[in-house]
Amino acid sequence: MRSVPMLDLGTEYKLFEDEVRSAVHTVLESQHFIGGPSVTELERRLAEMMEVPHAVAVSNGSDALLCALMAMEVGPGDEVVVPSFTFFATAGSVARTGATPVFADVDEKTFNVTPETLERVITPKTKVIVPVHLYGQCADMPAIMAVAERHGAMVLEDAAQAFGAAIGGKKAGSFGQLSTLSFYPTKNLGGFGEGGMIFGGDAKLVERCLQLRNHGQTQRYIHEFVGGNFRLDTMKASILLVKTRYVEEFTRRRMYAERLAGAAVQTPEVPDNRLHVFHQYTIKVDRRDELQAFLTDRGVGSTIYYPRPLHLQPCFSHLGYSEGDLPVSERLSHNVLSIPCHPMLSDDDIDYVASCIREFTG
Ligand SMILES: *Cc1c(COP(=O)(O)O)cnc(C)c1O
């Protein structure tokens, strides 16, 4: 039987194995393991690719969010609006600052927050809005920036899943006061271990992130405020530099095209002015769990991102949300399914996945 896994990092690695080995060898010879020229070069190159003035490399995508929120001086008494339908870190990082996450619902078709869902939950205490570009599709940032401005809130874009995505030709991550990326190995620009980055145009906020990354140190052993150890390893940065040479080509290869036509599932909707980078290819289908089992039986991988919306997570029960509060997020958690979507899929693999889904939906 054919097997189409969710990921195939092993095959991908073969394409740049020699370059990675040589980059690692250079780091080993230097015996310099934290920060240094590879990290600076990675920051420079990614700022250029994201079309943002400054970048600060950090330990992972969750710390990138935490560090950015700390730089925005978010803390107890502040509210930060986040989508309920996203990866946990978006809201977890808010809670770690002592601020209150306030959950917004998402759009049924794009899976992202919209000006309307944000307006419903913004209050005078809203300090920051955190749109997530879920699955690789840029949220409606021009409209969201206008909403934030009207309410005097800052915007932190969680672009962890959306490296290279755009709206109206402008890159995801280049709209907010700050934005973040993750280099978790399965992300579009995946590293060899943990890693993340913060982007921004405001020199003061960026300077603050640089200081927070190193325990709030402003001069050697002088700590103006409390930060953390959010530093990125040299070896990971030098491997990511290799991968930056491949990421655009790999992103192009994620395109599923129209192969699912005829299957009774909702395929991702991409409005005209958006560039979707398909971190995940996520369909919506009734009888989702049955389809997942059906695909498993036929050797096709799939994953549910995400089976429980964040406003219903046990750790946020003290916030007083209950079922029915954010109906779209709740509904999506019951009928989304992400199917294999990675650069190493062949046309035959994709045809096979599509034919299995068509067979299921009749
Ligand atoms: C992956 C991810 C993060 C966190 O990144 P890590 O590097 O795993 O800490 C944050 N937000 C979203 C939307 C993500 O997908």
Give the Cβ contact number of residue 261 at 10 Å. 9
Residue 29 class from Cβ within 10 Å (0-12 exposed, 13-18 middle, 19+ buried)?
exposed
Sheet arrangement for strand 100-104:
54-58, 196-200, 178-182, 154-158, 126-129, 79-83, 100-104
**Ligand 1 within 6 A of CB of 321:** no
Where does the pLDDT of residue 151 fall: very low under 50, low under 70, confident under 90, or very high at 90 and above?
A: very high
- Report the distance separating Cα 9 and Cα 32, nearest Å: 27
Residue 26 class from Cβ within 10 Å (0-12 exposed, 13-18 middle, 19+ buried)?
middle
Pocket perturbation via mutation, ligand 1, pick of 85, 132, 158 by most ligand atoms within 8 A of CB:
158
Least confident of 20-29, 215-224, 247-256: 247-256
So what's the pLDDT on residue 217?
94
* Mean pLDDT of all residues belonging to the chain: 96
- Closest C-alpha to ligand 1, atom 3: 61
* Partner residues linked to 336 by β-bridges: 284
Share of the chain above pLDDT 90, in %: 94
pTM for this structure? 0.97
So what's the pLDDT on residue 258?
75
So what's the pLDDT on residue 255?
73
Residue 305 Cα to ligand 1 midpoint, Å, equals: 12
- For 180-194, write each residue's pLDDT tens digit: 999 999 999 999 999
